[in-house]
């Protein structure tokens, strides 16, 4: 009898809870994506897409766009709420977009407010838009999905191959940490689609106006993390190209004499497969050693050029300073930062071909 009573009480509680949740959802507008751009008179422009409840039990949620100009995000959100019949809630917010003009001035003031918001989930992606963020927020995608869902899925899909895994908390760690600078996905519009243009490079919270092109995002991941998947195309012979598929790559940082005369060697070991080789007679065996050497030359050169570019721009998106600090007793941060642009850094790449697939 007690068990039946307990089950009845629990069922009643769940029904009541469902009723409360339904009432709450009917009384709010759910923000899915928000964009911020630089505006006149030292203001910012906020643009948000919200889900709007429609009449009828089985009706789909409608979509509406609200805009506001203000000097800070909090005031912009208040202005947006002043135009809506219900308050805007950010519990389902998955992506925040920043126009490149605003990002170049620094994002600290426009990111910190979300760090403090308990209604915002942990899996919140940040991205820079080539041009204006509102162009992405307002667009009508070719697919049924909203711009927020499309941008989120686009970022998540490319994290596997060409983008670093950067959410709100990883960005904040890199932005406020020493010996490391953040990066963010760089998006752009192409007709009625959103696509990844590359990886936006930052000096602390400021976008420096330079980026790693999408196809070279694979190289950045090779330098900065252990991962699988992804591929890179190299020129094998005149007018012939080869796709190198990453089965698994691992990176190790060797930093010596960090407090006096620092030197860095980055060892990258990659197990790869050959997806396609053009210009070959299928009746002949492919000389894997030659392809390994050629791949190491081409990709290794690109990796070293990328590291040099980081040094020339006084940025450290692969966190060499952070690694040096963790491995050096009484680490001299000031000396490292002064020496960083001229530190000898060598990338040593070792590729082992473990599978082949050949096509003309």
253-291 pLDDT, tens per residue?
Answer: 999 999 999 999 999 999 998 866 666 554 455 667 778
Contact yes or no for 126/171 (Cβ under 8 A):
yes
pLDDT at position 297 over 60: yes
Per-residue confidence (pLDDT) for residue 289, from 0 to 100: 78
Could you give the CA distance from residue 24 to residue 140 in angstroms, rounded to a whole number?
Answer: 28
The pLDDT-based confidence of 41 (bands split at 50, 70, 90) is confident
Residue found by looking up tokens 């912009």 in the block: 76
* Axis crossing angle, helix 288-312 with helix 217-224, rounded to the nearest 10: 90
Per-residue confidence (pLDDT) for residue 241, from 0 to 100: 80
- Provide the percentage of residues in the chain whose pLDDT is more than 90: 53
* Residue pLDDT, tens place only, 178-218: 999 999 999 999 888 899 999 999 999 999 999 999 999 99
Could you give the CA distance from residue 304 to residue 302 in angstroms, rounded to a whole number?
Answer: 5
Could you give the CA distance from residue 217 to residue 306 in angstroms, rounded to a whole number?
Answer: 11
Residue 260 is encoded by which pair of tokens?
């006096």
Could you give the CA distance from residue 316 to residue 324 in angstroms, rounded to a whole number?
Answer: 12
Per-residue confidence (pLDDT) for residue 122, from 0 to 100: 67
Per-residue confidence (pLDDT) for residue 32, from 0 to 100: 79
Topology at the third CATH level for domain 226-360: GMP Synthetase; Chain A, domain 3 (3.30.300)
Could you give the CA distance from residue 243 to residue 298 in angstroms, rounded to a whole number?
Answer: 12
Contacts of 196 (CB under 8 A, 6+ apart): 154, 155, 158, 162, 163, 185, 186, 187, 214, 217
Strands (E), 103-182: 125-129
* Residue pLDDT, tens place only, 79-129: 555 565 566 665 578 899 999 999 999 999 888 878 777 766 667 899 999
Tell me whether strands 183-190 and 125-129 are parallel, antiparallel or unpaired.
parallel
Per-residue confidence (pLDDT) for residue 63, from 0 to 100: 74
Q: What is the pTM of this model?
A: 0.86
Give SS3 for 197: strand
Strand partners, 265: 254, 346
Give SS3 for 90: coil
Could you give the CA distance from residue 351 to residue 347 in angstroms, rounded to a whole number?
Answer: 13
Residue found by looking up tokens 């911020």 in the block: 36
CA 55 to chain centre: 37
Best-predicted range by mean pLDDT among 44-58, 60-74, 134-148, 162-176?
Answer: 162-176
Tell me whether strands 88-89 and 62-70 are parallel, antiparallel or unpaired.
unpaired
pLDDT at position 292 over 90: no
Q: Where are the domains of the chain?
A: 17-216, 226-360
Residue 133 is encoded by which pair of tokens?
């963020």
């Amino acid at each position: 009898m007690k068990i039946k009573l307990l089950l009845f009480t629990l069922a009643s509680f769940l029904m009541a809870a469902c009723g409360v949740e339904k009432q709450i959802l009917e009384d709010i507008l759910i923000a899915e994506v928000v964009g911020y751009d630089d505006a006149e008179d030292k203001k910012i422009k906020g643009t948000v897409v919200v889900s709007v409840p429609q009449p009828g039990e089985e009706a789909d949620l409608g979509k509406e766009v609200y805009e506001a100009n203000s000097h800070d995000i909090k005031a912009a959100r208040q202005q947006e709420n002043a135009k809506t019949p219900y308050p805007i809630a950010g519990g389902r917010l998955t992506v925040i977009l920043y126009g490149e003009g605003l990002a170049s001035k620094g994002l600290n003031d426009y990111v910190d407010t979300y760090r403090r918001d308990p209604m915002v989930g942990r899996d919140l992606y940040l991205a820079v838009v080539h041009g204006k963020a509102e162009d992405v927020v307002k667009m009508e995608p070719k697919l049924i999905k909203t711009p927020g869902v499309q941008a989120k899925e686009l970022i998540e899909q490319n994290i596997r191959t060409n983008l670093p895994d950067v959410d709100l908390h990883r960005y904040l760690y890199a932005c406020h940490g020493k010996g490391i600078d953040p990066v963010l996905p760089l998006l752009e519009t192409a007709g009625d689609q959103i696509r990844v243009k590359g990886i936006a490079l930052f000096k602390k919270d400021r976008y420096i106006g330079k980026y790693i092109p999408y196809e070279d995002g694979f190289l950045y991941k090779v330098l900065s993390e252990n991962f699988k998947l992804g591929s890179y195309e190299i020129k094998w012979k005149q007018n012939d190209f080869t796709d190198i598929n990453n089965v698994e790559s691992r990176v190790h940082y060797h930093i010596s004499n960090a407090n006096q005369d620092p030197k860095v060697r980055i060892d990258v070991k990659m197990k790869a497969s050959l997806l396609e080789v053009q210009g070959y007679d299928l009746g002949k065996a492919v000389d894997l050693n030659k392809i390994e050497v050629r791949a190491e030359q081409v990709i290794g050169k690109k990796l070293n050029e990328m590291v040099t570019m980081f040094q020339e721009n006084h940025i450290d998106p692969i966190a060499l300073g952070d690694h040096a600090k963790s491995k050096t007793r009484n680490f001299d941060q000031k000396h490292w930062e002064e020496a960083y642009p001229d530190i000898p850094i060598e990338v040593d790449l070792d590729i082992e071909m473990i599978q082949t697939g050949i096509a003309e």
